A and B are shown apart, each in its own frame.
Chain A
Amino acid sequence: MIQFIEVSKYYDNEVVIKDISFLIEKGELAYITGPSGAGKTTLLKLIYRAERPDGGRIVVAGWDVGDLMQKTIPFLRRNVGIVFQDFKLLSNKTVFENIALSLRIHALHTREIKEEVNEVLKDVGLKHKANDYPQHLSGGEQQRVVIARAMVSKPTVLLADEPTGNLDPETSTMIMKLFREINARGTTVLVATHHRELFSGTGRRVIYIKNGELIKETVG
């Protein structure tokens, strides 16, 4: 589902990702970990083509990401749900509208949008907050809205960048539970985190990177 073949990325001649190769199978839930500045966020950006690889090949859900034309990139991204570290919620739209935006892009009918958004809001436990604005929600609630927005269009791949960044342990546990549920429905999930406790004892694959290099692959 996500395949890296000797992928490299440079910023001003400085190596950020160096000859990384791995394969995340369809329906897998895996973790990428490493210290801050190791290249985790860049690695995720390469998957949804916010960055272009300088070397190697990346294949995501059948798309050869490095060779995509500009006009094709939106169609790759519709297959990849993203949970951003900084949420990227629109402050002038309600929770409902933020989630619905993802489906508007897919040109769904208003009635279908209403049904799908209400369904996903129920899944993340925020149905009662549908008409609130993001800035009036707690960090944990905002993160759940982001997850709802990422999963509402039923992507084949879900990427999460430090999804529990500033959240308390209880909320973090709830967020990780959500990812497991999404994965159980067949979505491939890749979580980038430097919090060891998120993957310890899960029995899931963990990819360690440091200074842009893949150090090891283990089971959490």
Chain B
Amino acid sequence: MRNFIYSFHVAVKNLWREKWINILTMLTIAVGLLILGAFILVTVNMDAMLKRWSKDFGLIVYLKENLSPEEEKLLGEYFKEDPDVVEIKYISKELALDELRQTLGSMTSILEGFEENPLPASYELKLKREALSPVRILQKTSQIKQLSGVEDVQYGEKWLSSLNTMTEGMKIVGLLLGTIIFIAISFVTYSTIKILFYRRLDEIDTLKLLGATRRFIRYPFLMEGFFIGTLGGLLGFISLIALYSFVSVKMTDFLPSFSGVITFFPLELYPVIPLAGAVLSLIGSFFAVGKIKY
């Protein structure tokens, strides 16, 4: 414990003694974590927006002509029992025609040529978020198409596909960016601690000759790396809050519909950025000090 306190004291002293190189390292870590934090924040907000939009996504099941009301009702019961379906809406032939008339407005005259209502009755099915993957949608569609009484099934194929590509793309880029920044932070601290270690080589040699254990020699360097990482992480986090505040105010001014839509990380995730800085720098410092030989 005494050695731990002494190491802490030495680390704080050295942090000040080598302040310029330490400040530079802290700033580098802060910038790295700020970029990563901002990217994750954009991804999280986009994901939330896409989730909101996907609520309106649905399948349209067109029914065959001349189905009896019982047969139509039977199909409705079938869809109700499907665990992936969260909402069902029945659109009769008449309702479909009314909707079309409303859409056409003054051009309804083009419908006058038809003797009978040409539009089929249909069911609009809204699916759970988890069921919105292209593969599952395709399975569901072909399953419904095989039901007797079903003429056709339509859905926003392209839209769904782009939505998924975008979300998956953001996740992959985030993972890649995260890995690169994490390695870069560890490497930056590794280089700084290595330089500081070589600068104190004479002191380390003397300590070894006086009977200092590896732990006694190593601890101050590890603590110094830990402090640099924590402070860099804190700085990055504060910058992220500032950037978020600035961007959200500007966006609300520009697009008032975005008001209250853009969110920050939840409170419980606040320590993650400083902690990431601390842990990565500690790893870098550990490898920088290496194996101490007598």
Contacts and interface: CB of A to CB of B under 8 A. Distances in A.
Interface of A: 48-50, 70-71, 73-78, 82, 84, 88, 90, 92, 101-102, 104-109, 149, 153
Contacts of A107: 2-3
- Interface size class of chain B, counting residues whose CB lies under 8 Å from the partner chain: 10 to 19
Given A90-B203, A107-B3, A102 B210 contact: yes
B211 interface: yes
A109 B2 CA distance: 7
B171 to A, nearest CB: 45
A101 B207 contact: yes
B216 interface: yes
Interface of B: 2-3, 6, 17, 202-203, 205-214, 216, 293-294
Contacts of B210: 77-78, 101-102, 105, 149
Given A104-B6, A105-B207, A109-B2, A73 B212 contact: no
Contacts, number: 54
B232 to A, nearest CB: 26
B75 to A, nearest CB: 77
Given A77-B211, A105-B211, A105-B212, A70 B293 contact: yes
Nearest to B4: A107
B176 to A, nearest CB: 40
A190 B2 CA distance: 33
B137 to A, nearest CB: 62
A70 B213 CA distance: 10
A106 B293 CA distance: 19
25 contacts: A50-B209, A71-B213, A71-B214, A73-B294, A74-B213, A74-B214, A75-B211, A76-B211, A84-B209, A88-B205, A88-B206, A90-B206, A92-B203, A101-B206, A101-B210, A102-B210, A102-B211, A104-B3, A104-B6, A105-B212, A105-B216, A107-B2, A107-B3, A108-B2, A109-B2
B203 to A, nearest CB: 6
B209 A77 contact: yes
Contact of A48 (B203, B205, B209, B216): B209
Contact of A78 (B3, B203, B211, B293): B211
Which of B17, B207, B216, B294 has the most chain A CB atoms inside 10 A of its CB?
A: B294
A73 B213 CA distance: 8
Contacts of B6: 104
A66 to B, nearest CB: 13
Contacts of A74: 208, 211-214, 294
Contacts of B293: 70
B207 A82 contact: no
A100 to B, nearest CB: 10
A110 to B, nearest CB: 8
- Give the one of B17, B210, B212 with max A CB within 10 A: B210
A116 B45 CA distance: 63
A155 to B, nearest CB: 9
A95 B104 CA distance: 96
Contacts of A78: 210-211
